[in-house]
Structure 1
Amino acid sequence: MCSLAFASSKVSGVRVWSGPDNTRIVLDLSAAVEFSHFNLSQPNRLVLDLKNSQMATKLSEVELSGNLVKKLRPSTPKAKQDYRLVVELNQAVNPTIFSLKPTGNYGHRLVIDLPDKAGKEQTQKQQQQISKVKKQQQLAGNRDIIIAIDAGHGGEDPGAIGRRKTYEKNVTLAIAKRVQRLINQELGLKAVLIRQGDYFVNLNKRSQIARKNKADFLVSIHADGFTSSQPKGASVWVVSTRRAKSEVGRHLEEHEAESDLLGGVGEVMGSVENDAHLNFALIDMQMDYSMNTAYEVASKVLGELGRVTSLHKKRPEHASLAVLRSPDIPSILVEAGFITNLNEEKLLNSGNHQERIAQAVVKGIKTHYRNKPLAGTLYAQTYGVRKHTVQKGESLSVLAARYNTSVAGLKKANKLSSNTLRIGQVLTIPNS
């Protein structure tokens, strides 16, 4: 009987990332390590034993994130050659611990995922309150159109890295928060951020978060990277059922697969909510709507981006990316520029340029939904086709004043050659 042999390993780095409902601790290792763990209570602690290992970084200098982890400290291991790490906690946890092989710029890692029960309960309460408000709005027929904004990468996954060491994950979050602010300034639109800080969200879970928030549309913000510094310009991507044709598209798909590995989740976290029990015919219809809507919005966003920055392609491009594949939520992915291009890296670091990119994205989305407002929304009341049945004593000037439009607009919308109206006549009221 043989057993796996593990080389001596050094822990060269420790990082802590905090999300809304979990905290992640990542140990950078010089080699794969055999490990075991157990929990202690009163006070709550997680004890992790690393076989044949030593700590090569100062735990006191590790920046803690969130409220779950109180302290990281060493303790006396059972065997002299081992290392024991104690994680002091503010609540009892059931951790998920797994190792990751080297990928990208990362070597061996050990990942400790700690579910934050208090944070999850707070998130659920917020979701319940949001659902309650939305139901009230739906009954009144004036609900907001919900736009989910996904800042690409995050946490362990930096995304593309520029020559000036600009991380894509930081640029995308900065632009996403600007998009959120601009959308929330628009009456009838409401923004939801998929991630609000520097932590990784599983690629498939991003659409699920949008779905839980009843999102009508999802826009994912990225900053392109490539193997050379020549490519430049913004682009907008929509879903494809086939592999991307362009070299940049294939690089994007490969980069997404690497991101999943860097984030360190995938199958390890177990299955999530399964929406597969939907009627296939319904999915087909929904997918057609989602793809058509996504392409229309992508075209409008691309047009607006062309006014504020150079474009890599003048038409929406297609790729098979996880964040675009939701059949029930139209989704686009915006590449704000190439972070691997020195000039565009400088621009993407500029707050003014980030604001212009955000404005272009929001304007494209607003234009689409003003032209095609969703039923039951405030946008439909404001921008949708309105009808009026003429009553006794009403004239074009009276109706123009009532609906905040003009007599000329009413005549044009209804193809009227005179100002004369008849009782019972149905008029189309143009948008003001």
Structure 2
Amino acid sequence: MSEPTEIRSQPVIAKVRRTVLKAGGTLLISLLAPLPAFAAQILAVRVWPADEYTRVTLENDTNLKTTHFIIKNPERLVVDVEGIDLGPTLKSLVAKIQSNDPYIKQVRVGQNKPNVVRLVFDLKEEVNPQVFTLAPVGEYKHRLVFDLYPVNPPDPIAALIEKGQWSLDVPPDAMPPPTAEVVPPYVEPKSGRPPQVTRMLTIALDPGHGGEDPGAIGRGGSYEKNIVLAIAKRLKAKLEQLPNMRVMLTRDGDYFVPLQVRVQKARKVQADLFVSIHADAFVQATANGSSVFALSEKGATSTAARWLANKENAADLIGGTNIKNHDKQLASVLLDLSTTAQINDSMKLGKAVLNEIGGINRLHKGAVEQAGFAVLKAPDIPSILIETAFISNPEEESRLNDDAYQDRMADAVAQGIRKYFAKNPPLAKSRMM
């Protein structure tokens, strides 16, 4: 009886074996088959128009690959972004282009082909586009950035000429030779006569952060970039009321300016002073007071100063710069022999300003501190960085948003600058027109 049973079982075993092998083969094929592609998610779109350039940012959850090209007559920039599908967030970019944008007339977006979205920027003039990606940093995820620079960029000296400020210089042939002789910026009036013009003084004011880089954010939601720009504009107006002074802002709107570009702008207009304006933040809300900093060649004067310099120097990472175009020229001038003299003059300027600020707010430190701030590294311009107050302190944040406090802060800095020049007249020099 057992033998027939064994014979009948063989076809059943073979069938089971074939079923198992078939199932295994199907599983193997499914494992080897390519998985369906998942499109990246566009998290936010932002547009930062300015006279210097317009920036468009796409924030997303992964790194994106792009190709771009220019089409002439009329001027257009075409960008193909791979790995994404057209969604509502990206569509919202169309409405974010304003009529007063200096360089973009409008933008059109469409699904060019599966997983590829095409952006077409209709331009108002010829531009030099820079398209690059930024790795996650701070609160930001991956970013795809389009910086649209005009082929003919605005000249800061031309802007001063347009305002009627540059032409007020004494003609070069009427100036003393550029020697060690010092001259006052102006002669105080005698017997009611108007002051005698010696030469114009150029002040570069640098409102920190801007655009993609908000700077510190207060507990009440205040952005450092907005507060310091407001203070800088007030200070500009007050300085321009003093005899023979003109002022250049490194930024006059909400857009990002790399640290080394801020220094280059000051040198471009041959500034006599550089004043960077900030509003500090700390992990503890109790931190308070105003501070003034100068550059240091030998390291920071305190751990807090070093920490702050490192934080401010990270602005380029947050604001986002195109590494390929990063200007390394600044590094070559940092060891200039004039650096020591610059730091000495910066300390004098810092003390004059700190003394005035102490009259309207508590000082965080009673002396000018020093650290390696990248934005203070112009070797030929006395430069200071002012932390007007702690935006992370609720009381000081409220004060920083108050028009009257902003005005008093601007007054104090202006008086500090005036008193610095009264005791430290600048060298006579001819201006390159």
Relative to the length of structure 2, the TM-score reads 0.79
Q: For residues 112-131 of structure 1, what are the structure 2 equivalents within 5 Å?
A: 112-118=146-152, 120-121=153-154, 123=156, 125-126=158-159
* Aligned residues of 2:168 and 2:200 also touching (Cα < 8 A): no
Q: Which residue of 1 aligns with 2:68?
A: 37
Distance verdict in 2 for CA 1:356–1:116, change over 3 Å: same
Q: Which residue of 2 aligns with 1:399?
A: none
Distance verdict in 2 for CA 1:349–1:275, change over 3 Å: same
Distance verdict in 2 for CA 1:115–1:72, change over 3 Å: same
Q: Secondary structure at the match of 1:208?
A: helix
Deviation, structure 1 residue 133: 4.7
Q: Which residue of 2 aligns with 1:26?
A: 57
Indicate which of 210, 213, 227 corresponds to 2:283: 227
Asked if residue 287 in structure 1 is aligned to residue 318 in structure 2, the reply is no
Deviation, structure 1 residue 63: 4.5
* Aligned residues of 2:105 and 2:124 also touching (Cα < 8 A): yes
* Aligned residues of 2:228 and 2:278 also touching (Cα < 8 A): yes
Distance verdict in 2 for CA 1:75–1:56, change over 3 Å: closer
Indicate which of 244, 248, 267 corresponds to 2:323: 267
Q: Secondary structure at the match of 2:346?
A: helix
Indicate which of 67, 72, 75 corresponds to 2:110: 75
Deviation, structure 1 residue 371: 1.8
Query: Partners in 2 of 1:287 and 1:169 — Cα distance?
Result: 29
- Name structure 2 gaps, 5 residues minimum: 1-36, 177-197
**Further displaced range: 152-161 or 15-24:** 15-24
Q: Which residue of 2 aligns with 1:344?
A: 396
Q: Render the CA deviation track for 1:195-214: whole Å, top value 9, x for unaligned.
A: 11111111011111011111
Q: Secondary structure at the match of 2:327?
A: coil
Aligned length: 367
Q: Render the CA deviation track for 1:390-412: whole Å, top value 9, x for unaligned.
A: xxxxxxxxxxxxxxxxxxxxxxx
Asked if residue 104 in structure 1 is aligned to residue 133 in structure 2, the reply is no
Distance verdict in 2 for CA 1:347–1:62, change over 3 Å: same
Q: Which residue of 2 aligns with 1:371?
A: 423
Q: Which residue of 2 aligns with 1:411?
A: none
Give the residue type in structure 2 aligned to 1:62.
Answer: K
Query: Partners in 1 of 2:330 and 2:166 — Cα distance?
Result: 20
Q: Which residue of 2 aligns with 1:89?
A: 123
Q: Which residue of 2 aligns with 1:423?
A: none
Query: Partners in 1 of 2:240 and 2:158 — Cα distance?
Result: 21
Give the residue type in structure 1 aligned to 2:401.
Answer: N
Q: Which is higher, the Rg of structure 1 or of structure 2?
A: 2
Q: Percent of pairs identical after alignment?
A: 37
* Aligned residues of 1:47 and 1:84 also touching (Cα < 8 A): yes
Q: Render the CA deviation track for 1:126-177: whole Å, top value 9, x for unaligned.
A: 3677666536277356111211100000111100000111000001100111
* Aligned residues of 1:13 and 1:56 also touching (Cα < 8 A): no
* Aligned residues of 2:46 and 2:96 also touching (Cα < 8 A): yes
**Further displaced range: 62-71 or 242-251:** 242-251
- Name structure 1 gaps, 5 residues minimum: 1-5, 378-432
Asked if residue 253 in structure 1 is aligned to residue 286 in structure 2, the reply is no
Query: Partners in 1 of 2:173 and 2:278 — Cα distance?
Result: 33
Asked if residue 66 in structure 1 is aligned to residue 66 in structure 2, the reply is no
* Aligned residues of 1:260 and 1:266 also touching (Cα < 8 A): no
Query: Partners in 2 of 1:274 and 1:59 — Cα distance?
Result: 36
Query: Partners in 2 of 1:189 and 1:94 — Cα distance?
Result: 34
Q: For residues 45-194 of structure 1, what are the structure 2 equivalents within 5 Å?
A: 45-54=76-85, 55-57=87-89, 58-64=92-98, 66-77=101-112, 79-118=113-152, 120-121=153-154, 123=156, 125-126=158-159, 133-134=168-169, 136=171, 139=174, 142-194=198-250
Deviation, structure 1 residue 27: 1.0
Q: Secondary structure at the match of 1:53?
A: coil
Q: Secondary structure at the match of 1:175?
A: helix
Deviation, structure 1 residue 190: 1.8
* Aligned residues of 1:21 and 1:116 also touching (Cα < 8 A): yes
Distance verdict in 2 for CA 1:257–1:288, change over 3 Å: closer
Q: Secondary structure at the match of 1:206?
A: helix
Give the residue type in structure 1 aligned to 2:382.
Answer: P
Q: Which residue of 1 aligns with 2:366?
A: 314
Give the residue type in structure 2 aligned to 1:163.
Answer: R
